[in-house]
Amino acid sequence: MNLMDNPLYKDALAQLYQAGNTMGLDPNILERLKHPKRALVVSVPIRLDDGSVRTFMGYRVQHNMTIGPGKGGIRFHPNVDLAETAGLAMLMTFKCALVGLPLGGAKGGINVDPNELSRQELQALTRRYATEISMIVGPNMDIPAPDIGTDGQTMAWFMDTYSQIKGFAVPGVVTGKPISVGGSLGRTESTGKGVVYCVNFAAQKMGMKIDHTTRVVIHGFGKVAIPAAMDLMAQGAKIIAVSDVSGAIYNPEGIDIKKAVEWTREKRFLKGLPGVEHISNEELIGMECDVFIPAAIDGIITEANMHTVRTKIIAEGANGPLTKGAVDYLHNKGVFIIPDILCNAGGVIVSYFEWVQGMQNFFWGLDEINKKLHDILKQSFSEVVGAADQYKVNMKTAALIVALRRLERAMKLRGLFPG
């Protein structure tokens, strides 16, 4: 498979080139960062509930591990392939470096629609996948976490399988676990909470205030979107539109997010929720608002629809939701874009906290975790703003420059083996 056939990977590489050229990155470092360190492709056969056997394709890509063990989620989604996984692993390298974590970038996944499988089938899929990639993961090598289509239960199955192989409990092999098997307080909502911290930093920089006059539109309604919506509502903001795969809902007076969550728990999708107007995802993207949060999948704002976007702040809750062309266009139009590797870094930051707590067998309180998360994101936001001012570039390019500075220093100090 040609990695350049995938738009996410191609876009990540284009951003790398742009940031590298702007800052004068050593061309030898750039050459190394263009390619993933290691990629594993596995077949994952399982017996379905009807007795038949079906084989799924699974992947684990480790992009760069100069600064520390690999870190990155496991995604169960029909679009998962080697190129997408490689692109996401590259973004994880930059994300960990940007926020100063001693971790490298990795990503994994299975090409599957998890909604089509039963709980038992999902458990079998997870356990077989964990077995197939067990030789390249571990608490000192590569630490997976939840992503689209996976959750704390998936991580508990993965951890148990890895522990069975080793012969003793290894809670540090994954993060995002339930509390009762070594998870961390605050991990579940950490990505969404980090998005809201960054929205507040951006609003403050722009002289805005998040209050009852703030209109927020969120593309997505999952584990990033819901905590973000809840926190913004607590500040008084109106969440006027959200969406999922069934479509989008709109209420100019603000959607009751708690009711929407209760509805999706029972009905699974937002479709049919009473008291709101049902619109398309395309209409949601073009809706006038103060803050737009793409919090679902990559590539939702492209050259094809970027002209319809009407907002002051875009907070990239998802990985790669804006293409490079869309970022350049909207930045030039005066939209403040909080880049994904900063905006959604809350998840990997608290995953790092979970990993540290697990290795020490000493756990922290929620207030301490949230304060540490806030402080790391505030410092990182300030560094990115500083780089944007210094190089006269958009926040997306500036974030990569900050990350590349750290990677360049570390890679030069370690040198190239065998030299």
CA distances from 360 to 190, 353, 354 (A): 21, 11, 10
Residue among 145, 332, 316, 157 nearest 224 (CA): 316
Q: Determine whether 259 is an active site residue.
A: no
**55 contacts 125 by C-beta, under 8 angstroms:** no
CA distances from 341 to 90, 93, 250, 308, 316 (A): 11, 9, 28, 24, 8
Residues 6 or more apart from 372 whose CB is under 8 A from it?
349, 353
Residues 6 or more apart from 143 whose CB is under 8 A from it?
69, 70, 71, 103, 137, 172, 173, 174, 175, 351, 355
Question: Pairing between strand 291-294 and 313-315?
Answer: parallel
Most distant CA atoms of the chain, gap in Å: 66
Question: Residue 189 carries which side chain, given as an amino acid letter?
Answer: E
- What torsion, rounded to 10 degrees, do the Cα atoms 312, 237, 303, 77 define? 150
CA triple 155-365-186, angle to 5 deg: 40
Identified catalytic residue from 37, 71, 95, 107: 107
Residues 6 or more apart from 168 whose CB is under 8 A from it?
none
Question: Pairing between strand 104-111 and 313-315?
Answer: unpaired
- List the catalytic residues: 107
